[in-house]
Amino acid sequence: MIVVGVMIGLGLAASWVLFYRFPGLEQADPQDQGNKRPRLSIIIPARNEEQNLALLLGDLKNQTLEIHEIICVDDGSTDQTAEIATAAGVTLITAAPKPAGWLGKSWACQQGGAAASGTLLLFLDADVRLSPTGIGKLLKAHQSTGRVVSVMPYHQIENKTEALSLFFNCLQMGANGLGLPVGRDQNKPSNDQKQQAQKNKKQKNEKSSHPYQIGLYGPVIVISRTDYQAVGGHAAIKDSIVDDMALGEKLREKNIPFALFLGDQDVSYRMYGGGLRQLIQGWTKNQAAGVAKTPLLILVLVFFWITASASAPLYLVLSLVWQQWLWSAILAAGYGIWVLELHRIARHIGSFSMIDIVCYPLLLLFYLLIFLRSLAKKILGRPVIWKDREIRLDK
Of 347, 307, 335, 139, which is closest to residue 223 (Cα–Cα)? 139
- Dump pLDDT digits (tens) for 184-198: 344 444 344 444 444
pLDDT digits (tens, 9 = 90+) for 111-125: 999 999 999 999 999
pLDDT of residue 206: 45
**Per-residue pLDDT, 190:** 38
Which of the residue ranges 38-42, 44-48, 335-339, 375-379 would you say has the lowest mean pLDDT?
A: 375-379
Determine contact, residues 248/258, Cβ cutoff 8 Å.
yes
* pLDDT at position 208: 56
Res. 200: pLDDT tops 50: no
Of residues 151 and 286, more confidence is placed in 151
Give CA–CA dist 219/238, Å, rounded.
Answer: 17
pLDDT at res. 6: 87
Q: Is residue 205's pLDDT more than 80?
A: no
Mean model confidence pLDDT for the chain: 87
Sign of CA dihedral 380, 381, 385, 387: positive
Rounded alpha-carbon distances, angstroms, from residue 153 to 26, 249, 270: 14, 21, 9
**Contacts (Cβ under 8 Å, ≥6 apart) of 227:** 148, 202, 251, 254, 256
Q: Which CATH architecture has domain 30-271?
A: Alpha-Beta Complex (3.90)
Does residue 319 surpass a pLDDT of 80?
yes
Tens digits of residue pLDDT in 77-100: 999 999 999 999 999 999 888 888
pLDDT of residue 181: 83
* Per-residue pLDDT, 203: 42
Measuring CA to CA, which residue among 259, 288, 262 is closest to residue 346?
Answer: 262
Q: Using one digit for the tens of pLDDT, what is the confidence trace for 168-188?
A: 999 999 999 999 985 434 444
pLDDT digits (tens, 9 = 90+) for 221-278: 999 999 999 999 999 998 888 888 899 999 999 999 999 999 988 999 998 888 898 8
DSSP-H helix ranges across the chain: 2-18, 30-33, 50-61, 81-87, 104-115, 134-145, 166-174, 191-200, 225-230, 243-253, 276-291, 296-321, 325-349, 354-358, 360-380
Domain borders along the chain are: 2-18+278-387, 30-271
Higher pLDDT, 157 or 394: 157
pLDDT of residue 148: 96
